[in-house]
Amino acid sequence: MMLKVSNLNKNFDGVVALKDFSLELKEKEIIGLIGPNGAGKTTFFNVLSGFVKPESGKIIYRGKDITNSGSHNIVFEGISRTFQDLRLIRQILVIENILLSFNHTNGENIYNIMFNQRSWKKIEEQDKQKAFELLEYAGIKDKANDLANDLSYGQQKLLSLICCLAADAKLLLLDEPIAGINPEMREKILNIISELPLKGKSAIIIEHDMDFIERICSRVIFMDMGEKISEGTPSEVRNDPKVIEAYLE
């Protein structure tokens, strides 16, 4: 098992965000996380990526307890995420956004910058090369030297996905990767995500678009009020009376 989350609990001022939430994920598996707004999906991502500490519960990633690790350590363990509200560094270049996502920090060491440029210049060049390859893969190579702010909304979503790939994460947490973008870009992003298992990567995807979920997820978890209501293949979950009830409420 790649990821084993057990009995997470989290409350925000008395509002239940996660209640005894458990989840297991195998290597190279893509699962969908669905549910109404406020169900606790994003909170789960925040807990998993170390931005929010759970009140109780345990997260084991590849045999290692990361429940209380800081967010930057979790990235180095191999978990990378995107944000629902699309966080990119808009006033820096597209390519710099990607370079920042690589897990190489030799060039951020002050001693190396002043006295040992050789220790990172080469890695930086290689990263640049890789960044261009990733941009080419995503089809926005011509935008490399634009400000991230000048990209269209869809391209920004694409870029944030590319940043996750650059981080070389084994597990990607994608928060609404296709919400509000045009069909063409949607296909592009769908293709990139569906190729993740081929690259040995897994993903958990939060998305409201059921058609999208059915096309790429082998397993779906339905959440409501911080609890897991239903789990199974997309069609099983879709036809689960408890799910229908939750949506009708």
Partner 1 sequence: MEYLLHILILICIYIILAVSLNLLVGYTGILSIAHAAFYGVGAYVAALMALRLETPFLLNLVLALIAAGAFGAIVGIPSLRLRDDYFIIATFAFQIIIFSILNNLVSFTGGPLGLPGIPQLEIFGLTISTHIEFLILACVLAALVYRTASRIVKSPFGRLLKAIREDEVFTQAAGRNVASAKVKVFIISASLASIAGVIYATYITYIDPTSFTLMESIFIISIVIIGGAANLKGSILGAAFLVALPELLRFIGLPSSVAANVRQILYGAMLVIMMMWRPQGFLGEYAFGKNSGDRSQKAEVRTNRGNDA
For partner 1, the binding residues (CB under 8 A) are 10, 12-13, 46, 49, 51-53, 70-72, 74-76, 80-81, 83, 85, 87-92, 96, 99-101, 103-110, 113-114, 120, 124, 163, 167
- CB 180, min distance to partner 1, A: 16
Q: Report the residue number, 49 or 230, with the smaller CB distance to partner 1.
A: 49
Whether 221 and 23 have beta carbons less than 8 Å apart is answered as yes
The answer for residues whose C-beta is within 8 angstroms of residue 241's C-beta and 6 or more apart is none
Whether 159 and 166 have beta carbons less than 8 Å apart is answered as no
Could you tell me the CA-to-CA distances from 198 to 16, 135, 170, 201 in Å, in that order? 37, 19, 12, 7
- CB 219, min distance to partner 1, A: 25
- CB 56, min distance to partner 1, A: 14
- CB 29, min distance to partner 1, A: 22
- CB 92, min distance to partner 1, A: 5
Q: Report the residue number, 70 or 139, with the smaller CB distance to partner 1.
A: 70
Q: Report the residue number, 72 or 241, with the smaller CB distance to partner 1.
A: 72
Q: Report the residue number, 113 or 244, with the smaller CB distance to partner 1.
A: 113
Instruction: Round to whole Å and give the CA distance between 174 and 229.
Output: 21
User: Residue 41 corresponds to which tokens in the numbers above?
Assistant: 């999906």
Instruction: Round to whole Å and give the CA distance between 193 and 180.
Output: 17
Determine phi and psi for 79, rounding to 5 degrees.
Answer: -115, 125
Q: Report the residue number, 98 or 229, with the smaller CB distance to partner 1.
A: 98
